[in-house]
Chain A
Amino acid sequence: MRIPPLLIIWLSIGCALVLQVMPMPLQLDVFRPNWLLLTVMYWCLALPHRFNVGSAWLCGILLDALWGAPIGINGVIFALVCSFVIKNFQRIRSYSIWQQAVIAGGISLVYQATSYFIQRALFDVSLIEGYYYSALTSIIFWPWLFFLLRKTRRHWQVA
């Protein structure tokens, strides 16, 4: 049976969104990796012709709606991050998995910092303790997510 590739992509995005809001113990909550960002990054790397800046922007908007954040904040950052990845996808693809992981961590860090500064500029928010830890866990989780999604992609022949 052949499943349309876009369906697979958006199912994985849906799973990432669920993981992103899944309840976690308070102590572990700051260590939650940026699931959605990592998944979006993977699809940008793997299938830049199918998953473009617009899709990433849509993912950001969905996250905003899910989080109850002002609509557009994650949208703009996701679009920017995605455009960076798509511009450099051939270079990033050729790196080893751990180098990619470090890049993913760096992008997570940039994403979180930008999100903080935008919110800081627009509203009065304060930084919570351990806000940047999830960039670290994003590094650790990138290889697993990468292999999992690659296996999914090959199994369903998403191209």
Chain B
Amino acid sequence: MFAILSVVLLLSTDKMAPYRVYLTTLVSPLQFIASAPLSLLDQSSQYFKLRSTLMSDNAKLKLEHLELSDRLLKLTHLENENRRLNALLGSQVAASGKKLIAKVQMVDSDPFRLQVIINKGAQDGVFVGQPVLDENGMVGQINYVSQFSSTVLLIADNSHAIPLRNNRNDVRLIALGKGDLHQLELQFVTKSTDVKIGDILSTSGLGGRFPQGYPVAKVTAIENRGSQIYSKIKVAPIAQLDRIRYLLLIWPVIPSDTKPGDE
């Protein structure tokens, strides 16, 4: 009887999704307990840092800050310019939306899935399908949400695919996860497509799930077999998926239509 019940549950995964929130919320205290020893260790190691380390860290960060603020100044200028040009063209304008920093909880998960659990959940407005970044690039998307935590499916998971665009020439591609944290694969790329080793691929924004323009992967190997139509292309994710600690959750902005005459 329970076997039948399980099969029914498995087959109705999509319909049961709202109820799953309650179940995961119920077990999330266990996750907090399980991750407590390590986070305690982590905090104490933060606490007992040497003064010299802190000073050198501070100096380094100040330098980095200077560099970044210089680029940020340019960015605001470019953003404005871009908005004006987009308005001239009559195309959609995407502004930057809400952001939230989440911490990865050090807990184990399903051995068949590449996913991590983060400490932000439905009470922070996290939703299923939300894109997740780290400081280098795209990491994945939210898979399940509970009240206080949620699960991020990494782009390298077997079930994950992400629409990309080559930064060099705007060729559209799709990267599939292969269950390997260090490698994704591009599928159905004909041999004649212009892809070179070292190309940086960013999200294309097609499909509507991931916002446009975030770096995702770098082409590492291209293999052409004589008899096959498609070449086999391996790409490495830019975000270091095996050592993520802090993640950035972003809320996509509903693009506002700006007509040429508006501004």
- Chain A residues near B202 (CB-CB < 8 A): none
Known: A67-B110, A79-B6. A18 touches B30 (CB 8 A): yes
CB contact list, B1-50 vs A, under 8 A = 2-3, 5-10, 13, 16, 20, 23-24, 26-27, 30-31, 33-35, 37-38
Binds B, one of A92-100, A118-126, A137-145, A150-158: A118-126
Chain A contact surface mostly: helix
CB contact list, B83-126 vs A, under 8 A = 106-113, 115, 117
Number of interface residues of B (CB under 8 A): 39
Known: A22-B107, A32-B108, A65-B27. A53 touches B20 (CB 8 A): no
CB contact list, A41-80 vs B, under 8 A = 53-54, 57, 60-62, 65-73, 75-76, 79-80
Give Cα distance in the complex from A17 to B27, angstroms: 9
Assess whether B179 is interfacial by the CB under 8 Å rule.
yes
Give Cα distance in the complex from A119 to B10, angstroms: 11
Give Cα distance in the complex from A36 to B158, angstroms: 26
User: Is B111 within 8 A of A131, CB to CB?
Assistant: yes
User: Is A68 within 8 A of B158, CB to CB?
Assistant: no
Number of interface residues of A (CB under 8 A): 39
- Chain A residues near B34 (CB-CB < 8 A): 18-19, 21-23
Known: A18-B30, A65-B23, A68-B113. A75 touches B6 (CB 8 A): yes
Give Cα distance in the complex from A73 to B27, angstroms: 17
Assess whether B151 is interfacial by the CB under 8 Å rule.
yes
